[in-house]
A and B are shown apart, each in its own frame.
Chain A
Amino acid sequence: MKITDQEVLHVAGLSRLKLDEHELKRFLRELNAIVDYMDMLAQIDTAGVPETVHATMLTRALRQDIPERSQERAAALANAPSQREGKIVVPRVIE
């Protein structure tokens, strides 16, 4: 198998996901099957072919930087899981 369980755990860590034993086994098998399939891309000669990163022909979609009113603070905070005094509360970051 191309991807090892160490790599699955590494990728899970980068993705901020914690896997249990069962998930590790399952994703190890599935990710290998999918990546094996994707390896067909290696056969294609793409020398000198530019990359397409978006599907429109737009090049510079910049707008004027003009301040305008958008959401009120209360509306923007309404979905926050924990808030106090108009700010979002998170677990302690600095010891």
Chain B
Amino acid sequence: MFEIARLYRRFGLRPVELLEELLGTIRRDNLNAYITVDEEGALRDAQEAEQILAQGSDDVLAGIPLAIKDNICTRGIRTTCGSNILADFVPAYDATVVERLRKRGAIIIGKTNLDEFAMGSTTTTSNAGPTKNPFDETRTPGGSSGGSAAAVAADLCAGALGSDTGGSIRQPASFCGITGLKPTYGSVSRFGLVAFASSLDQIGPMAHSARETAVLFDAIKGHDPKDSTSVPGEYAPIDLNALDMHGIRIGVPQEFFAEGLSPDVERAVRFGITAYEELGARIVPIRLPHIRYGVAVYYVIATAEASSNLARYDGVRYGLRADGAKDLTDMYLQTRSQGFGAEVKRRIMLGTYVLSAGYYDAYYKKASQVRTLIARDFSEAFGQCDLIAGPTSPVTSFGLDEMMDDPLSIYLLDIYTIPANLAGLPALSIPCGFAEDGLPIGMQLMAPHFREDRLLGAGMAFQDCTRFHRVKP
């Protein structure tokens, strides 16, 4: 991103030239990172960027080609959510984040692949087929923002937006060796993000480095009157100088190094923590006792919210409508049964079950209370430390056809990422090493609400003295 900005200004490279080269690369590529490439629209954006640059703009995002996850609305560009039910949906408006990127002169290349409705962690449930991991094409890029992660890793864009409900930015960032930020809930507008679980969903940036991630975060953050959960107030730009780690207390929860953690991941993350110690940070052991209930809490709350949010897909106003229905109810039944894939149906039904009469108190109410206990664990922990560090995922990328038949074991892999969503905290995944088979490993950092500056600054400090984020597939 910074390199491209420099080439434009110092070496006379033109956005249109760069874009044409990039579109050629995307055409030849077979990772299936994109669902839709908007060649015409991108070319228009590039021509506009040329004018902006000709006027002497010093905006680093001018002419920077970006990819947008396909659950974020883009005016005039098909937004499918990887689902048959939205296969032909063309939004009449841009999501606030897209509008903000356009205003900065960025080029929107297209829409990236995802698990259907962002429900998954493998990018295999999309109706567009699976995305492949650029480090090993037989493996998953992670998910649900796997298309964005693969596109960044393989340089099919200079940065991307994803969305993160239970780890969907951080886990694919970890699997693809890039940097991904899940911002504080309420710091980035969700207007135009197709809702999955509204109290957990958050749009965030993905790029090679923490510095580029910070530039994208600055561009999209801030209050938006169109999102009632967007938090008002001043949002200061992120300092692009690395954070001085001297005196910074890094909390290491023992619960994050529990059973099921792969030895490769543990070794790399422990290395990362030691690196911070060498940079001057103080390591503090902490406890997060309720974290082990996180997955159970999450799959109650997220599916409950999803069952309600996805009720809107009824074949009436937009999206698929099944032919030949005998009445209105039959139209709903047929449309939804044909339009949704198995994972989405499973989650809608689970959510309907936990909200249904007789089970509400035992599941939904209980989970909402335990969510409070998890949030309290973090408040207490942040009394003793400034950042929390641990693995992003207990494993590295796995085979595209592994574990397909066992949804629960896939859900359990979200154990380290889910807590930040439940507590609304910002969290960052940065590359911190490679497994013996060459697959990338991510370290997760978490900070108190609205302390993305600390997260990204610490990410920059780590990346200024390591090269993991520079390793290409």
Contacts and interface: CB of A to CB of B under 8 A. Distances in A.
B299 A34 contact: yes
A88 B300 CA distance: 35
B318 interface: yes
Contacts of A51: 365, 368-369, 371-372
Given A42-B362, A55-B424, A18 B333 contact: yes
Given A41-B296, A41-B366, A79-B89, A23 B345 contact: yes
B185 A79 contact: no
B211 interface: no
B439 to A, nearest CB: 28
- B contact patch SS: helix
A6 interface: no
Interface in B325-352: 325-334, 336-337, 340, 342, 345-346, 348-350, 352
* Interface residue tally on A, bucketed by range: 35 or more
A53 B352 contact: no
A16 B316 CA distance: 14
Contact of B317 (A15, A53, A61, A80): A80
- Best-surrounded residue of A34, A52, A53, A63 (most CB of chain B within 10 A): A52
A15 B391 CA distance: 36
A17 B368 contact: no
A22 B296 CA distance: 26
Contacts of A67: none
A31 B319 contact: no
Contacts of B421: 55
A84 to B, nearest CB: 14
A49 to B, nearest CB: 4
A90 B331 contact: yes
A16 B332 contact: yes
B407 interface: yes
Contact of B334 (A18, A30, A57, A75): A18
A34 B367 CA distance: 14
Contacts of A30: 346, 407-408
B212 interface: no
A54 to B, nearest CB: 4
A91 to B, nearest CB: 5
Interface of A: 3, 7-8, 11-12, 14-19, 23, 26-27, 30-31, 33-35, 37-38, 40-42, 44, 46, 49-58, 61-63, 71, 75-76, 78-82, 88, 90-93
B321 A40 contact: no
Contact of A61 (B200, B229, B327): B229
Given A30-B407, A93-B328, A12 B349 contact: yes
B389 interface: no
A66 B370 CA distance: 39
Contacts of B299: 34, 38
A50 B90 CA distance: 41
B434 to A, nearest CB: 32
Contacts of A16: 311, 314, 329, 332-333, 336
Given A17-B349, A63-B225, A52 B317 contact: no
B318 A79 contact: yes
B333 A55 contact: no
